[in-house]
Amino acid sequence: MSALPKKSRFIKDCIRAHWARGITQDCSVKDGLAAEPLWHTPRFRIVCNWRVRHYFVNVLNVTQISDIIDYDTDRPFTAQRWREWIGTYHRDARAENITEEELDEKVIQIIDVVNQVPDDIIREITEPQNVTVSPKEMMALMLPDAQDEEGEVIYARIAETDNGTRFDICKIDAVGYEHKTGQRKALMRYDLHQVAWWGDRVQGPLESSFPLDKGWKINGETILLSNSCVKDTYDVFMWRKFKRPPSEAGWEERLGLAVPWQRTWRVNGMYSSPRDKLTMAKLLRRNLFTASRNPETNGTCLLCNEQETQLHLVQCEVIHREYWQSMLDLMVPLNMPIPHHKKEIEAMLVTYRLARDRVVNKEQASIIDIAWRCLYAEIVRARVDNALVCLQSAKVRGIKMLQSRAEAYGRRWELWVIKQLGRKKIKTIPRKHQRYTIVKQRAYGSYTVNPVLKAFQRRWEESGFTPTPRTRAARRVGRRRPPSPDRQPAESEAPPTSVEPDPWRDLSGDAKTTATARGGHAECNLATARNLHRNETLTREYMRDHQLGGRDGMDTRYPDWHMILQELIEEGECVVQFKMENIIDGDMLQQVRLAALYTLSPPHVVAVIRGEAGSVRLYDNDSTERVEGTHITLTTRQLVQRHGTMIAIVKTSSGLASAAPRQARPRPGQIREARRRARRASGRHGQ
């Protein structure tokens, strides 16, 4: 650093950053051992005064381990030979003769240094090396000259001919690239030496080259110095500050396999958009919201009775058989590697892992990203709409998305070429961007998407879009799962009180409000039915059985209130229906015992129960009173000001029973028309 110019701060910062990377030498690699430094090496330690080191480095040029070895005897130089060398080189370097006292002192110092070199190192250097050669291999040829002379090095490739072994002479330029000279010689007097390579460039003879390209580690990981770049340096510093996420240990514990996380985090699907990658990004961090973490459900899978966890989405027998197996079948004709064991397949789908040190490529990662997005979206849709999961629909949607992303990728390169039209020299698409499997790109922009995608889409569409039923008995939706231990509310630990619950409290239970529907349909119909029946455990299955036109296994938004109220009538009562604007006197509503008051715009329904002294109790699923667990108390005069249609239970002898039409079974055509009108009018609320 002291030899650099004073203001060369950038160069100094680069050197400091290179040192700060913490590159360590792999002592198990013995190649080029003779060329390693004598004074500073991790293999052994030389203890001496810095003046001793400075003298022998600058006067005798003793820098490498091989500089202390006499190759005539395969042992370190003797004291006599050192005396001769010191006397000669001291005079050349200092322009004066060294005194006998100084000469004896220097000989003692260098012998002390030589004795600190381990015998196994000297034995490794002097042991004869058997050089194996193969045709077209690059070799360094050197004359067996004296050690103290720098002999000429000839680089050549071995060529087998009818006349025996010959050498095709090569010229090595200043930066290490070889150039053929066209000369072929025998060169029988030369000794063969292996060549040290720096990437695809020649570094020199292996015995005299240091540092070598291989034999180095960073943070315990083997590296090649020729591949080192600024990005690698940045990655080293980033990973030192990077706190390992706990999800890594969590996934390895659940999968039972070691995952190459540094490679996993670098995987970037080439066709998937940022939105496509979101589900997989949450999954890698174990942050994907599933039913097992939702206190509003009992946490079971929609396709079986197991707990729906993140890992269960790949382990579920139904999902794996009808969804993931189809995605794996798609990868086979695309020549994408697939592990053989089930555990490894699960690890690939969750963490991109193929082997202990291998992950999927960019194209295969795109398929996994899009597959996760479509699967998770279908499961969320089914939960929000209280419908069955249709895995066939998710598969078709996923392959369509993959095709559109691939088309966009090919079109982008095509536009890149088109923009160059009119130039004198048009650039072509690099070869490395033409060799993908899903999109075949040509040099001048034309492209084709692999027809395998279209074939699989056609096959999946022909098999239909039948929802996937449960493989076991359906879960009881109305029961709430107890909170997880780590999220147990503090007040649950308090001793129970003796206060009796309000008999007229709100019994909506886990029915979704507009605020908690998360973009789906609110369940004010379920809340109304529970409050009318005074039964908080009334299930969604009950609502499916009481839909307009009969049971609807996929929807609960269009209940038949006449049928529901018919189950609640007592002797001498009937069910009537009327519009609120036809009621002139609010006192007439005192005749109503139970009622469902609904509107079509916006779609909403509330429960009405007769109270004391001319009042009514109104249960609204979207009111603040519902959150507090109570009801709204209104007078009949206040209730009559509300608009909508009321379906009510009244006495047969009452005025409302004679003025309003009684329940009449609608014709099938009327049911279909009513359902169509209700579906058109339905928004975020459920009727």
pLDDT digits (tens, 9 = 90+) for 518-543: 657 888 999 999 999 999 989 988 88
Question: According to the 3-state scheme, what is the secondary structure of 616-663?
Answer: EEEECCCCHHHHHCCCEEEEHHHHCCCCCEEEEEEECCCHHHHHCCEC
Asked whether the predicted pLDDT for residue 38 surpasses 70, the reply is yes
Token couple for 639: 């209730």
685 CA to centre of own chain: 36
Sole residue written with tokens 């009621």: 583
Contact predicate 351/286, CB 8 Å: no
Say what the pLDDT of residue 31 is: 86
Asked whether the predicted pLDDT for residue 669 surpasses 80, the reply is no
Strand 603-610, strand 615-619: pairing: antiparallel
369 CA to centre of own chain: 8
> pLDDT tens across 138-190, in order?
888 888 764 444 567 889 888 876 667 788 899 999 898 999 888 888 877 78
Contacts 24+ apart (CB under 8 A), 296-301: 296/480, 296/510, 296/512, 296/516, 297/383, 297/477, 297/480, 297/481, 297/510, 298/475, 298/476, 298/477, 298/479, 298/480, 298/481, 299/481, 300/475
Say what the pLDDT of residue 320 is: 93
Q: CB 650: neighbour CB atoms within 10 A? A: 25
Reduced to 3 states, what is the DSSP secondary structure of residue 496? coil
Q: 57-61, 197-201, 478-482: lowest mean pLDDT where?
A: 478-482
pTM of this prediction exceeds 0.75: no
Token couple for 231: 């990005």
Comparison of pLDDT for 473 and 230, the residue scoring more: 230
256 CA to centre of own chain: 18
Asked whether the predicted pLDDT for residue 637 surpasses 70, the reply is yes
Strand order in the sheet with 23-25: 23-25, 216-218, 221-223
Reduced to 3 states, what is the DSSP secondary structure of residue 114? helix
CA-CA distance, 158 to 160, in Å (whole number)? 7
CA-CA distance, 1 to 41, in Å (whole number)? 20
Say what the pLDDT of residue 478 is: 42
Q: What is the mean pLDDT of residues 666-670?
A: 55
Which helix (H) or strand (E) covers residue 342, if one does? helix 342-351
Q: Which residues of 41-73 are buried (b: 16+ CB within 10 A; e: fewer)?
A: beeeebeeeeebbebbeebbebbbbbbbbeeee
Reduced to 3 states, what is the DSSP secondary structure of residue 152? coil
Q: CB 313: neighbour CB atoms within 10 A? A: 22
CA-CA distance, 96 to 65, in Å (whole number)? 28
Contact predicate 468/389, CB 8 Å: yes
> pLDDT tens across 392-442, in order?
999 999 999 999 999 999 999 999 999 988 888 888 999 988 889 999 999
Say what the pLDDT of residue 145 is: 60
Q: 230-234, 418-422, 447-451, 641-645: lowest mean pLDDT where?
A: 230-234
Token couple for 544: 């499916």
